Amino acid sequence: MSNAFGASLLAYWQGDSEAKHIIERDDGYKEEIAVKYLFEKPSEWSQEEIQSLDMIPPNSTILDVGCGVGRIAIYLQNKGHQVVGLDSCREAIKIAEARGLELTFLGNVCKLTDPPLFDSYDVIIMMGNNFGICGDIFDTEQLLTRFKRFLSPNGLLIFSCRDPLKTDKPVHLAYHKQNRIKGRPPGLIKIRICYQDIKDEWWDLLFVTIPTAEEMLKNAGYQKITIYQDPSSPVFYIVAKQQ
């Protein structure tokens, strides 16, 4: 992420409790997002998110990919884990540090070839739709394969994703149809983040169904352990272990 995203975080952190940024899709669809959700306390999280994080063994070393302002990283750090917050947004990292996150790394996970700070991790987490931040299915599978080099034996990968097909909105169904015509997965969206007059670069973000996620994990050499999902929500959480 770059300027618009970071600027919206800073605005909230500096006192604008109503700060919002806009996620714009390449078909013109726009969604306004309140920044405060990135600062939510554990009491505001879903039961499924808490359950997936409860799978982490005691005293683990954890890499939080796309840590943002440290929402989850600080929670896990307070539970006694050693957590490295990784993010490509400089403002997010600075805010996470100001909030008490002890270990951070500024970088783009899609370009990392070696684990940052530690030789290996017991757990890698990718929450808040970060599972698909590297783009299409092939690139995401390549990332998952690299992560196996980051993980200790029997290390865990925990992530969340939104099932793109759990919608009845015509604007989304039409986008899925156009993607299929173009030979793209239905849940591969091209977006950018806008804040006031600042517009970030366009980038691809991948959403997949649970069966597709399971197939990708298998292709990359992981075995699924548990899936958590509220039937009324399109968001699901998967805990997987490298084989």
Is the predicted pLDDT of residue 102 greater than 90, yes or no?
yes
pLDDT in tens, 145-161: 999 999 999 999 999 99
Rounded to 5 degrees, φ, ψ at 202 are -70, 145
- What range does the domain containing 146 cover? 46-174+181-187+209-242
Q: What is the pLDDT of residue 212?
A: 97
Q: Nearest CA to 236 among 171, 173, 166?
A: 166
Is residue 203 a part of any domain in this protein? Answer: no
Mean pLDDT for the chain overall: 96
Is residue 224 a part of any domain in this protein? Answer: yes
Q: Distance (Å, rounded) from C-alpha 182 to C-alpha 159?
A: 28
Is residue 204 a part of any domain in this protein? Answer: no
Q: Nearest CA to 86 among 66, 70, 69, 71?
A: 66
Is residue 113 a part of any domain in this protein? Answer: yes
Q: What is the pLDDT of residue 31?
A: 96
**pLDDT > 70 in the chain, percent:** 99
Is residue 25 a part of any domain in this protein? Answer: no
Count how many domains the chain has.
1
Is residue 2 a part of any domain in this protein? Answer: no
**pLDDT > 90 in the chain, percent:** 96
Is residue 238 a part of any domain in this protein? Answer: yes
Is the predicted pLDDT of residue 1 greater than 70, yes or no?
no
What's the rounded mean pLDDT across residues 115-136? 96
Q: Distance (Å, rounded) from C-alpha 110 to C-alpha 85?
A: 15
What's the rounded mean pLDDT across residues 101-106? 98
What's the rounded mean pLDDT across residues 1-7? 81
Instruction: Name the pLDDT band for 75 (thresholds 50, 70, 90).
Output: very high
Q: What is the pLDDT of residue 224?
A: 85
CATH of the domain at 118: 3.40.50.150
Is residue 10 a part of any domain in this protein? Answer: no
pLDDT in tens, 178-214: 999 999 999 999 999 999 999 999 999 999 999 999 9
Q: Distance (Å, rounded) from C-alpha 68 to C-alpha 98?
A: 12
Q: What is the pLDDT of residue 2?
A: 54
Q: What is the pLDDT of residue 124?
A: 98
Q: What DSSP designation does 120 have?
A: -
Q: pTM above the 0.85 mark? A: yes
pLDDT in tens, 29-63: 999 999 999 999 999 999 999 999 999 999 999 99
Q: What is the pLDDT of residue 130?
A: 94
